[in-house]
A and B are shown apart, each in its own frame.
Chain A
Amino acid sequence: MSAPNIDYEFSVSIDASDVCVRKALVDIRRTLGRLGVSEKDCGRIEIVFAEAMNNIVEHAYPSVSGRIDIAVTISAGSVHAVFCDYGCPLPNLTLPHGKLPKTTVKRDSLPEGGFGWFLIHTLTEKLDYTRFEDKNRLSMRIVLDP
């Protein structure tokens, strides 16, 4: 089921909305599956892409509509992904740290959010964010299981 020899690239542009993100995730997963990427890797990729795009919908375009451009390259056993948007920059132009919220707390204080960046950091390598003019660019690499 491993996919070390796939060489493929594709790009998708979507409206930055929850519903369009969902549809893009389903489409991308279908494409990856067709290319022979394992179910396990597809699952890891889907959660990373979901968190990256949810973050854009929620924070880059909090009250305006906008676009997300996604470029995916599969090569040499890894997936390289770039997400671009034209909304608000990340605070301080810096990637959030992605620490896991504390779960050893009383039930009333359990976290209901803050997992997104943790999941992205955990599952990716070479995570990078740049702001150039009015464009946010988030790039990352996900190594496929050999």
Chain B
Amino acid sequence: MDLVSEQIGALNVITVNEARIDAAVAIQFKDAMRRLTANGTTHVLLNLSQVLFVDSSGLGAIVGAMKQMGSERRLDLVGLTADVDNVFRMTRMDTIFDIHDTMETAIGRAAG
């Protein structure tokens, strides 16, 4: 899977350069997230602005990615596209994550 990690200030920003996080890639996604968050950065921001579709396996993998970071660290989300946003809201997963509209607000809030 094409995931890119970038350190912006105190934030580890991980961008998913894929159109789908679905059953076909859920395990690879979670493994890639484990590798890219292994440096221990406390605050991780997952940029989903290029992801057009997440199914329940993908949703589970995103939750799993947060859980495997341990309870002292944070995984926020940014850039949910319409269908992805709907799935998060229907499953109440929008109450579990801090979800930002844009990178600017997400980074601004982390800095402030």
Contacts and interface: CB of A to CB of B under 8 A. Distances in A.
Contacts of A57: 23
A47 interface: yes
Contacts, number: 78
Nearest to A54: B23
Task: Indicate the size class of the contact surface on chain B.
Answer: 20 to 34
Interface in B36-85: 53, 55-57, 59-61, 63-64, 66-67, 71, 82-83
B99 interface: no
Nearest to A113: B60
Contacts of B63: 110-112
A115 interface: yes
B67 A110 contact: yes
Secondary structure call for the B interface? helix
Contacts of B91: 100, 103, 115, 118-119
Interface string A115-138: 110110011000000000000000
A30 interface: no
B22 A112 contact: no
A19 B24 CA distance: 6
Interface in B1-34: 20, 22-24
